[in-house]
């Protein structure tokens, strides 16, 4: 396909909170033949190109970004059972007269933040530098999944083919009612690390003010909104960092972010490429149904849904003119909300499902990315493709570790764990960028256990371990490597976290403590972590595989 492309960065030096929004001018006609009239495209800010490898450097003078990490969840001093103590009748006010604003290059439309280019009709695609050409290896093109394949512009539903990104997917949404006492950080979207494109770095995010009883009711109503899909909603316990999940900060005020006036705000992530987005619902004292509607709308934005004029949909722009009570997702093509002379919606995706970019079908859009509700009976697998078990390396030699994760549906995550001969954990690091390759530099002489751990949204945790020797292995434990091989119970000798009993969607008790929402990253050689308590607060969503 011959394309005339002119690429430029949209305010490249002033978009620190998202990846640079790449805008490219297309001259591709409706059928893929060069022609005039096709809108420009803008790169999805949530798309993260894969790095060559993740470098972990054990040397004393290693750069900070390459030092060994153990990604722990710190403990939040507030517990879910403490919400009653934080209940308040008055709505929070603006605590900052000199409030921060969105970074240049981004715009807010109601409760949605989009690249400015979308207001002028640009189509959001995952990777603007790659998706302009035909991709013969694509896993599912518009002809397989779209009701109107001839209307779909290049790059839509083309994906990037790295593990974990497959469609359909399973997914988890965490409703964070506990706030963030240490604040969130700007610099991208990563729910596990409290990174948000619209965060006020270091600004303490307040605890939900509606009390425990209302929080439970809101969570149950939100779970009902997603009951048709394999999207589970949890609120008592924060998911482990290895698992991709959306986080909703419930409570606070719009001035606790860089957003403008709104009842909630979220980044628009067409096709849910990010999988780790953070959104906000500034709800505390409103009726339960109103709060649930706002929460579900902000989640919907992170999953690729824009505003519509459908009065019975949670995606409606504003709720003043909509039907009262608890709303759901629309099951027909409805007009998207239009600012005069502008638009902000996933135009390409909408053309796929409605044939018109200015109409949106909520349920078709969600059903393309997410599997139908039901149990996940297939456990994932992970293998260390290299080095081979028992490999020997000279002191100072770089060790390349290649991971091979797999599941029958997308949405899973994985990490690498490195232990020494005494079982001390030296590295416990999530592969956020899905690089699949870790380069270990500067390991001192000894015997080490390398473990790949994978987890899916049914809490299946599977590991694969090998041992390697560096130098003469003077510190070797003679039993090192006896536990190598696939440990499908998730409890092998790797020191990794253990999962549940492998069942999915069962009702869980409503008691228990919440894990903190902060980054507990450490460097060096910390003590071996205790086993984590996982997933006490699952809302029992029925799930069936599509």
Return the H-helix or E-strand segment holding 295: helix 288-302
- DSSP letter string, 242-294: TS--EEEEESS-GGGBT--S-SEEEE--GGG--SS-EEEE--SSS-HHHHHHH
**Structure confidence at residue 252 (pLDDT):** 94
User: What is the C-alpha to C-alpha distance for residues 17 and 188, in angstroms, rounded to an integer?
Assistant: 5
User: What is the C-alpha to C-alpha distance for residues 225 and 300, in angstroms, rounded to an integer?
Assistant: 10
CATH number for the domain whose boundaries are 146-369: 3.40.390
- Whether residue 97 is predicted with pLDDT greater than 50 in this model: the reply is yes
Q: What is the pLDDT of residues 111-163, one digit of tens each?
A: 999 999 898 888 898 877 765 554 545 555 667 889 998 888 878 887 667 89
- Whether residue 331 is predicted with pLDDT greater than 80 in this model: the reply is yes
Q: Which two tokens stand for residue 156?
A: 């839509």
- Domain regions of the chain by residue span: 146-369, 376-503
**Structure confidence at residue 546 (pLDDT):** 34
Q: Which two tokens stand for residue 47?
A: 């798309």
User: What is the C-alpha to C-alpha distance for residues 472 and 447, in angstroms, rounded to an integer?
Assistant: 9
Q: What pTM value is reported for the model? A: 0.81
- DSSP letter string, 314-343: TTBS-SSSSPSS--B--SSEEEBP--TT--
Q: Which residue has the higher pLDDT, 412 or 16?
A: 412
- DSSP letter string, 410-427: B--EEEEEEE-TT--EEE
- DSSP letter string, 369-425: HBPBSS---PPPEEEEEESPTTEEE-TT--EEEEEEEE-SSB--EEEEEEE-TT--E
Residue 43, classed as helix, strand or coil, is: strand
**Structure confidence at residue 98 (pLDDT):** 57
Region 30-49: mean pLDDT is 62
- Whether residue 13 is predicted with pLDDT greater than 50 in this model: the reply is no
User: What is the C-alpha to C-alpha distance for residues 103 and 259, in angstroms, rounded to an integer?
Assistant: 10
Return the H-helix or E-strand segment holding 54: strand 54-57
Question: Residue 489 — pLDDT band, cuts 50, 70, 90?
Answer: very low
> 356 φ, ψ to 5°?
-135, 130
Q: Which two tokens stand for residue 231?
A: 């999207």
- Whether residue 243 is predicted with pLDDT greater than 80 in this model: the reply is yes
Q: What is the pLDDT of residues 442-462, one digit of tens each?
A: 999 999 999 999 999 999 999
Residue entry with tokens 């390459």: 66
User: What is the C-alpha to C-alpha distance for residues 472 and 450, in angstroms, rounded to an integer?
Assistant: 18
Region 170-186: mean pLDDT is 95
- DSSP letter string, 152-177: PPTTTT-----TT--SSB-EEEEEE-
Q: Which CATH class is domain 376-503?
A: mainly beta
Residue 224's nearest CA partner among 325, 125, 341 is 325
**Structure confidence at residue 284 (pLDDT):** 94
- DSSP letter string, 183-194: --B-SS-BGGGT
Return the H-helix or E-strand segment holding 57: strand 54-57
> 216 φ, ψ to 5°?
-65, -40
Given a contact cutoff of 8 angstroms between Cβ atoms, the answer to whether 148 and 349 are in contact is: no
**Structure confidence at residue 325 (pLDDT):** 82
The mean predicted confidence, pLDDT, of the chain is: 79
Q: Cα dist. 128→4, 40, 48 in Å?
A: 13, 10, 12
Q: What residues does 448 pair with on adjacent strands?
A: 468
Question: Residue 47 — pLDDT band, cuts 50, 70, 90?
Answer: confident
Q: What residues does 108 pair with on adjacent strands?
A: 113
User: What is the C-alpha to C-alpha distance for residues 117 and 104, in angstroms, rounded to an integer?
Assistant: 12
264-267 and 112-115 strand pairing: parallel
Q: Which residue has the higher pLDDT, 398 or 25?
A: 398
Residue 71, classed as helix, strand or coil, is: strand
Give the torsion sign (CA, 428, 196, 256, 223): negative
Given a contact cutoff of 8 angstroms between Cβ atoms, the answer to whether 359 and 334 are in contact is: yes
User: What is the C-alpha to C-alpha distance for residues 493 and 483, in angstroms, rounded to an integer?
Assistant: 6
Least confident of 2-16, 84-98, 165-179, 304-318: 2-16
Region 50-75: mean pLDDT is 90
What percentage of the chain exceeds 70 in pLDDT? 72
- Whether residue 337 is predicted with pLDDT greater than 50 in this model: the reply is yes
Residue 441, classed as helix, strand or coil, is: strand
What percentage of the chain exceeds 90 in pLDDT? 55
- Whether residue 22 is predicted with pLDDT greater than 90 in this model: the reply is no
Relative orientation angle of helices 288-302 and 212-225, to the nearest 10 degrees:
50
């Amino acid at each position: 396909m011959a394309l005339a492309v002119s690429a430029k960065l949209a305010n490249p030096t002033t978009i620190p909170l998202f990846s640079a929004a790449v805008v490219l001018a297309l001259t591709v006609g409706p059928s893929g033949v060069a022609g005039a009239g096709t809108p420009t495209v803008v790169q999805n800010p949530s798309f993260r190109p894969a790095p060559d490898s993740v470098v972990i450097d054990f040397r004393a003078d290693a750069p900070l970004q390459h030092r060994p990490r153990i990604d722990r969840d710190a403990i939040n001093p507030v517990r879910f059972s403490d919400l009653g103590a934080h209940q308040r009748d008055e709505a929070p006010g603006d605590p900052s007269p000199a409030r921060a604003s969105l970074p240049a290059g981004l715009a807010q439309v109601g409760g949605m933040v989009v690249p400015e280019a979308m207001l002028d009709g640009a189509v959001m695609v995952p990777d603007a530098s790659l998706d302009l050409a035909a991709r013969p290896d694509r896993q599912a093109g518009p002809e397989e999944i779209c009701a109107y394949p001839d209307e779909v512009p290049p790059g839509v539903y083309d994906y990037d083919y790295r593990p974990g990104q497959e469609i359909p997917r399973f997914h988890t949404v965490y409703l964070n009612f506990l706030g963030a006492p240490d604040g969130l950080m700007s610099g991208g979207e990563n729910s596990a690390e409290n990174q948000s494109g619209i965060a006020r770095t270091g600004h303490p995010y307040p605890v939900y003010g509606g009390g425990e009883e209302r929080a439970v009711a809101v969570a149950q109503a939100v779970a009902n909104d997603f009951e048709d899909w394999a999207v589970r909603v949890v609120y008592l316990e924060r998911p482990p960092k290895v698992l991709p999940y959306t986080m909703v900060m419930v409570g606070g005020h719009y001035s606790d972010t860089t957003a403008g006036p709104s009842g909630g705000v979220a980044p628009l992530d067409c096709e849910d490429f990010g999988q780790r987005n953070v959104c906000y619902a500034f709800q505390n004292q409103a009726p339960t149904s109103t709060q649930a509607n706002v929460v579900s709308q902000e989640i919907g934005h992170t999953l690729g849904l824009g505003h519509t004029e459908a009065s019975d949909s949670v995606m409606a722009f504003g709720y003043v003119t909509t039907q009262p009570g608890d709303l759901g997702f629309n099951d027909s093509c409805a007009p998207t909300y239009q600012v005069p002379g502008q638009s902000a919606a996933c135009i390409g995706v909408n053309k796929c499902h409605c044939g018109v970019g200015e109409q949106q079908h909520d349920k078709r859009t969600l059903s393309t990315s997410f599997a139908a509700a039901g149990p996940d009976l297939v456990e994932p697998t992970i293998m260390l493709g290299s080095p081979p078990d028992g490999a020997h390396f000279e002191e100072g030699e770089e060790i390349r570790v290649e991971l091979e994760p797999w599941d029958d549906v997308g949405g899973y995550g994985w990490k690498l764990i490195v232990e020494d001969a005494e079982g001390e954990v030296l590295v416990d690091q999530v592969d956020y960028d899905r690089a699949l390759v870790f380069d270990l530099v500067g390991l001192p002489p000894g015997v080490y256990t390398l473990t790949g751990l994978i987890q899916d949204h049914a809490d299946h945790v599977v590991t694969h371990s090998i041992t390697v020797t560096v130098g003469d292995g003077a510190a070797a434990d003679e039993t090192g490597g006896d536990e190598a091989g696939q440990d499908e119970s998730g409890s092998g000798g790797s020191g990794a976290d253990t999962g549940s009993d492998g069942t999915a969607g069962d009702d869980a008790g409503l008691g228990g403590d919440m894990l903190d929402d902060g980054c507990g990253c450490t460097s060096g050689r910390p003590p071996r972590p205790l086993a984590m308590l996982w997933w006490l607060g699952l809302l029992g969503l029925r799930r069936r595989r599509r």
